[in-house]
Amino acid sequence: MTRYRLTIEYDGRPFLGWQRQADGPSVQAALERAAEALDGAPVRVHGAGRTDTGVHALGQVAHMDLQTRREVDTVADALNYHLRPDPVAVLSVEEVTEDFHARFSATARHYRFIIVNRRADLTVSKGLAWRVAQPLDVEAMHAGAQHLVGHHDFTTFRDAQCQAKSPLRTLGAIAVRRVEDRVEIICSARAFLHRQVRSMVGSLVEVGRGRQEPGWIAEILAAADRSACGPVAPPDGLYLTAVDYDPPTDQFREG
């Protein structure tokens, strides 16, 4: 068996998320069908992040084991051929050692949430961003977001169905910035709780709308109470942009 690392981009709108589902399409299932068509036997594809229904990826990472060793470009081209017409693309493939695991070897995950801050409805960005019609105070949002940085009990921003054993997480960084009518919230952590990013974004938008002060974020975080969270942002604007691995030198095999 040969293990391959995949870097993947996808539009999450047609899928019930990354993880294989019994009652609908998933990104994982689409990749596994493509891999089986390539390898001639069932293949399990393991992802770095279990994105939710409607959430997108620009740099999801996964790994899989194939019975037959092939050139990485051949693997990428074959997977992309068999993935059509699903909106999933394998951007790159690398051969890795057997101790590499897309999920457990990851040292950081990076997400971006895109808000289009305008009164007009979305057209080309519909389903790919969250439209907020009211003017947003980005400076206040950024100030509020800094209360989330560090090691905390994130129960307030944890979905009730979250299966993680502990609500404790370390948020490495979060920033809010504006470019014209586009507001981006960028955050990084080793791991996130279920719907943590969308929950944080929804609360930060309450600050941006002027309904709450930046310090309110610290208050609801300290409450460790899900009912204290603001409205949860929709999945449309959320993107898994990259996954980090360290050190790369002992996980990659010479071609």
pLDDT tens column, 12-71: 999 999 999 988 999 999 999 999 999 999 999 999 999 999 999 999 999 999 999 999
Which residues does the annotation mark as catalytic?
52
Residues 202 and 95 in one domain: no
Sorted by sequence, the CB contacts under 8 Å of residue 37 that are 6+ apart come out as: 78, 82
Residues 114 and 236 in one domain: yes
Residues 69 and 120 in one domain: no
Say which CATH number the domain at 98 has.
3.30.70.580
- Classify residue 253: in a domain, yes or no: no
- pLDDT of res. 99: 94
Task: Give per-residue pLDDT as tens, 107-150.
Answer: 999 999 999 999 999 999 999 999 999 999 999 999 999 999 99
Q: Which two tokens stand for residue 149?
A: 């940085």
pLDDT reading at 250 higher than 70: no
- Classify residue 251: in a domain, yes or no: no
Closest CA to 1 of 32, 42, 34: 42
**Model-level pTM?**
0.93
Do residues 25 and 13 touch, judged by C-beta distance below 8 A?
no
Residues 95 and 112 in one domain: no
The span from the CA of 23 to the CA of 185, in Å, is 32
Residues 46 and 79 in one domain: yes
pLDDT reading at 185 higher than 70: yes
- Classify residue 66: in a domain, yes or no: yes
Domain boundary among 104, 127, 160: 104
Say which CATH number the domain at 141 has.
3.30.70.660
- Classify residue 122: in a domain, yes or no: yes
Domain boundary among 104, 120, 148: 104
Alpha carbon separation from 189 to 17, 177, 221, 239, 246 (Å, rounded) = 20, 18, 17, 14, 14
- Classify residue 250: in a domain, yes or no: no
pLDDT reading at 251 higher than 70: no
Reduce the DSSP state of residue 35 to 3 states and report it. helix
Residues 69 and 162 in one domain: no
Residues 198 and 132 in one domain: yes
Residues 114 and 229 in one domain: yes
Residues 92 and 205 in one domain: no
- Classify residue 172: in a domain, yes or no: yes
Residues 164 and 83 in one domain: no
Task: Give per-residue pLDDT as tens, 186-237.
Answer: 999 999 999 999 999 999 999 999 999 999 999 999 999 999 999 999 999 9
Q: At what angle do helices 138-145 and 196-208 cross, to 10 degrees?
A: 130
- Classify residue 255: in a domain, yes or no: no
Domain count, the chain: 2
Poorest-confidence range of 97-101, 220-224, 250-254? 250-254
Residues 118 and 231 in one domain: yes
Residues 230 and 119 in one domain: yes
Domain boundary among 58, 76, 104: 104
- pLDDT of res. 145: 98
- Classify residue 254: in a domain, yes or no: no
Query: Which residue range(s) make up the domain with 188?
Result: 107-241
